[in-house]
Amino acid sequence: MSVLRQVALRTPNLCLRPASCTRQFTLPLACRAVRPPGDARRGYAVKKIKSTADLVPGSKQPITDEAARAEYTKTDEKMKAAVEWYRKECAGVESRATGRVTPAVLDPVRVKLPDSDREFRLDEVATVGVRDGSTLLITIFEEDTMKHVEKGLYDSKLPNIIPQKHDSRTIKIPIPKPTVESNEALVMVSHRKSEDVRVQIRKLHQASLKRGNYKKHSVELEEFQKLTDRHITDVDKIIADLKKATNFSSKKK
């Protein structure tokens, strides 16, 4: 038995081979040392490799900053209020365009009183009813507010709304039957208002970003932009549904 083989058998964990030896020498299986894999043989903990599937893109991460979340909620509520106001506006237009006369037609009317800084809804200073299915009847609570209610009706610039004073507390508004031309005029007014609502939503968006002073490419910027896009999409759908319901075919915008 060669000296090299004798040494190998006496020292199982040692493999000696002269540098000049070109022959492959394999120790018997029983003489081979069992070595633990990877970093475990050095006494280090084996790190678990995270899959890319477990990573959450920045655009899908929620807003974690408390102040930013509060600002997001506040802005969302204001945008929703603007969209809901416009939805009611278009609902009233659709009612008129299809021949239905309801008090909702006068929802856009606002009344300014000399002893107050705020504007009042018409139903806060008067009652609105329907007579004979084609006439709106406004009964004012106090005679002193008559001229202010009349002014509010004219300032609203609602198409085909012509107030007629019946007595000191009553105003009649005959609603003519809808025609193609009158329907197109109503839809055109609603279309212009849709752009006003979009501008309002964008201003709310910019005001929120200015207050938050968020970093470029931050989660907050992405979430506020998605919020704005969602509400503008709602406005687009409302006006599109109105045009469809009224068979609006004019190419004018």
Taking only the tens of pLDDT, the chain with its 253 residues reads 555 566 555 655 555 555 555 555 555 555 555 555 555 555 555 555 555 545 445 445 577 788 888 999 999 999 999 999 999 889 888 887 887 888 888 888 999 999 888 999 999 999 999 998 889 999 999 999 999 999 999 998 887 789 999 999 999 999 888 888 888 888 998 999 999 999 999 999 999 999 888 888 888 889 999 999 999 999 999 999 999 988 886 554 4
Q: Residues 236, 125: one domain?
A: no
What does the pLDDT read at residue 124? 95
**Does 23 reside within a domain?**
no
**Residue 132 structural domain:** 101-174
What does the pLDDT read at residue 230? 96
Q: Residues 118, 229: one domain?
A: no
Q: 182 near 162, Cβ under 8 Å? A: no
Answer with the one of 174, 206, 233 that is the final residue of a domain.
Answer: 174
Q: Residues 183, 239: one domain?
A: yes
**Does 198 reside within a domain?**
yes
Q: Residues 80, 202: one domain?
A: yes
pTM for this prediction: 0.59
Answer with the one of 151, 174, 197 that is the final residue of a domain.
Answer: 174
Q: What is the dihedral of CA 92, 98, 102, 107, to 10 degrees?
A: 10
Q: What is the CATH number of the domain that holds 136?
A: 3.30.1360.40
What does the pLDDT read at residue 122? 94
Query: At a CB cut-off of 8 Å and minimum separation 6, what does 130 contact?
Result: 101, 102, 103, 136, 137
List strand residue ranges (DSSP E) for the chain, in order: 110-112, 119-121, 126-131, 135-140, 164-167, 170-174
Count: domains in the chain? 2
Q: Residues 188, 82: one domain?
A: yes
Q: Residues 161, 210: one domain?
A: no
Answer with the one of 127, 145, 174 that is the final residue of a domain.
Answer: 174
Which residue reads 């849709």 in tokens? 194
What does the pLDDT read at residue 59? 47
Q: Residues 141, 201: one domain?
A: no
What does the pLDDT read at residue 204? 96
**Does 224 reside within a domain?**
yes
Q: Residues 235, 117: one domain?
A: no
Q: Whats the size of the chain, residue-wise?
A: 253
Three-state SS at 199: helix
Least Cα distance to 81 among 243, 237, 188, 235 occurs for: 235
What does the pLDDT read at residue 127? 96
Query: At a CB cut-off of 8 Å and minimum separation 6, what does 143 contact?
Result: 168, 169
